[in-house]
Structure 1
Amino acid sequence: MSTNELTTSSAAEVNDKAHEPHTRKPQRRGIGKAQRREAIMLVIPSLIPVIIFSMAPLLIGIFMAFTDSTLKRNHDAQFVGFDNFTRLLSDTYFWDSFRIGMIWAFSVTALQLLAGMGLALLLNSNLKFQGLTRLLALLPWAMPPVVVAIMWKMIYSPTSGPLNAVLGSLGLPDNINWLGDFSTALPAVIVVGVWVGMPQTTITLLAGMQQIPAELNEAAEMDGANAWLKFRSITMPSLKPIIASITSLNFIWNFNSFGLVYVMTEGGPGGKTMLPMLFTYIEAFKNRNLGYAAAMGDVLVLVVVALLAVYLWTQFKGDKIK
């Protein structure tokens, strides 16, 4: 084969390769569109329940906040603009419940973290019957909130509760009305909230601890570090992203609490345990002011969205640092 023929064949191959992507692009583009259509068709069945049971009630609630809707018979709802929100600004009972809700959420979240960290450290050590202890640690989380509330109401009973019986056997006051006294009702409910939510915090932290390489602790022990130094210099830095995530989620969940407190105290005594979600429920279904309750709900949704934004920001910041 001559040099000219080689040159000609090489040029032809180059031209074929140069034109090859142009001929394949439409095919790839077509495959991409088909994949997107297939993905959309797979997602739609899961989106339908979200739209029906989440988005639709939310949009209805937002619209209802601008009306005077009630549960009274033969009442035609009228558009009232921002009247419900203007009334809400001067409603001291709502803002008192909001303050109590923040105290509840901060207290329960902080105590859940402390108690969960201690229990996770204990479960991460070489205990006997480790599987059984972890199962027992999950027990409060597995119980329905209504059952938990009834059980703790019995424990807190001023006349027949085991808590007062134990205090009496120790020579301490045994006639305390834990859920009926202004000074003890909120702390008593906070204890129950911590007990219920502690397992999920414990298991999350325990999973994070088990991801820490054992070589780090072994090297620290060889350097003479005690348990506190290992916890401060190895465990805590490794768990920082997990702590930020679980704390943010716990705060949102605790702020939205309703069933536990409703069964235990119904917001009493004297509104000392009146959480904002509970106050909104009472305004809607006992006082029958749906429009005004919807305005409260909108405000609480904004608070939860703000908290969720903080959570997502911490997650994004942590991923960016990595």
Structure 2
Amino acid sequence: MSAPIVTARRGGLARTRRNEAIALAIPTVLPILILSVVPLFVGVATAFTDSRLARNHDTQFVGLQNFVDLASDTQFWQSFGIGMIWSVTVTALQLVGGLCLALLLNTDMKFRGITRVLALIPWAMPPVVVAVMWQMIYSPTNGPLNWLIGSLGGPAHINWLGDFSLALPAVILVGVWVGMPQNTVVLLAGLQNVPGELLEAAAVDGASAWQRFFHVTLPALRPVIFSITSLSFIWNFNSFGIVYVMTEGGPGGRTMLPMLFTYLEAFKSRNTGSAAAMGDVIVIFLVAILTVALWRQLRSDRSES
């Protein structure tokens, strides 16, 4: 068989495989384009207009005016600070709690399979159901938490979600409880991929359990920890449903997260142009955070290699 014929057949086979790959990718890419990419560009464009949720409103291009007004909006930046406290605290506690639970589930404990299933229950529950359930737990009149504290001799009528100093810690606890299972699952998968030979060699050399954890297990989990921490931070910063149902941002804006503030600006104040500008600022902030984190991770990997 001559070389041109072989080359032509190989080229035809390559085109066929490429067309098959494109056909298989379309069902995945098309919903992303329609439901994510297009709304993103629409949101960016809306931020440069005076768009409002009102009948017969003549939308005008206003340039950077929404961003100029946003720069002096103290309530938005206060919500941004609350969002940072919420995101950092919840992400850190989810990581610590998820790692502890993953280490426990990685042992040869009794009923390990059932325990693993039970650990996933908070993750499987809808956010609205979780919020209503915790509202009942935090109820100042007949909530089980206050009943337990009262039975132990403490104050029995604490208004967890209405107190200025307790509302944010209360919703942070709920955020940790909801998000910890996903950290547990990812970290448990990472623990099962830690080379057993390294742990056995460290044990033979006389390393204690803590030394094996800090010098073998934790370094092996570093890529997993980086990935789940980055994703958790983004998810937590964009949190909306649980806090909205539990407190609606109160009391006095103490739990007003940035996404909740943006939602209220769009659908309560009906200023969709201003809300779109807030959304753009949040996206830019999260992209910048993720870019810096990825750059530091790549630099660390290169220095080790």
TM-score range, shorter chain: over 0.9
Q: Does 1:281 align with 2:263?
A: yes
Q: What is the aligned partner in structure 1 of residue 14 from structure 2?
A: 32
Q: What is the aligned partner in structure 1 of residue 124 from structure 2?
A: 142
Identity within the alignment, %: 64
Q: What is the aligned partner in structure 1 of residue 91 from structure 2?
A: 109
* Residue deviations 1:38-91 (CA, integer Å, cap 9, x gap): 322332232222221111211111111111111122211111111111000000
Computed over aligned residues only, the root mean square deviation of the Cα atoms, in angstroms, reads 1.9
Amino acid at match of 2:112: Q
Residues 260/80 of structure 1: CA separation in 2 closer, same or farther (3 Å cut): same
Task: Determine if contact 1:69/1:289 at 8 Å carries over to the other structure.
Answer: yes
Match of 1:70 among 45, 49, 52: 52
For residues 318 and 263 of structure 1, the distance between their equivalents in structure 2, rounded to whole angstroms, comes to 41
For residues 208 and 217 of structure 1, the distance between their equivalents in structure 2, rounded to whole angstroms, comes to 14
Q: Does 1:188 align with 2:170?
A: yes
For residues 74 and 193 of structure 2, the distance between their equivalents in structure 1, rounded to whole angstroms, comes to 48
| 5+ residue gaps, structure 2 | none
TM-score (norm. length: structure 1)? 0.89
For residues 21 and 32 of structure 1, the distance between their equivalents in structure 2, rounded to whole angstroms, comes to 16
1:235 Cα shift?
Answer: 1.0
Q: What is the aligned partner in structure 1 of residue 206 from structure 2?
A: 224
Q: What is the aligned partner in structure 2 of residue 9 from structure 1?
A: none
For residues 293 and 14 of structure 2, the distance between their equivalents in structure 1, rounded to whole angstroms, comes to 34
Match of 1:175 among 146, 157, 169: 157
Amino acid at match of 1:276: P
Q: What is the aligned partner in structure 1 of residue 179 from structure 2?
A: 197
Amino acid at match of 1:27: R
Amino acid at match of 1:92: T
TM-score (norm. length: structure 2)? 0.94
Match of 1:251 among 228, 233, 256: 233
Q: What is the aligned partner in structure 1 of residue 251 from structure 2?
A: 269
Structure of larger gyration radius: 1
1:241 Cα shift?
Answer: 0.9
1:219 Cα shift?
Answer: 2.8
1:212 Cα shift?
Answer: 1.7
Q: Does 1:98 align with 2:76?
A: no
Q: What is the aligned partner in structure 1 of residue 193 from structure 2?
A: 211
Match of 1:44 among 26, 30, 53: 26
1:22 Cα shift?
Answer: 5.3
Q: What is the aligned partner in structure 2 of residue 307 from structure 1?
A: 289
Q: Report how many aligned residue pairs link the two structures.
A: 304
Residues 318/23 of structure 1: CA separation in 2 closer, same or farther (3 Å cut): farther
* Residue deviations 1:74-116 (CA, integer Å, cap 9, x gap): 2111111111110000000000011111110000000011111
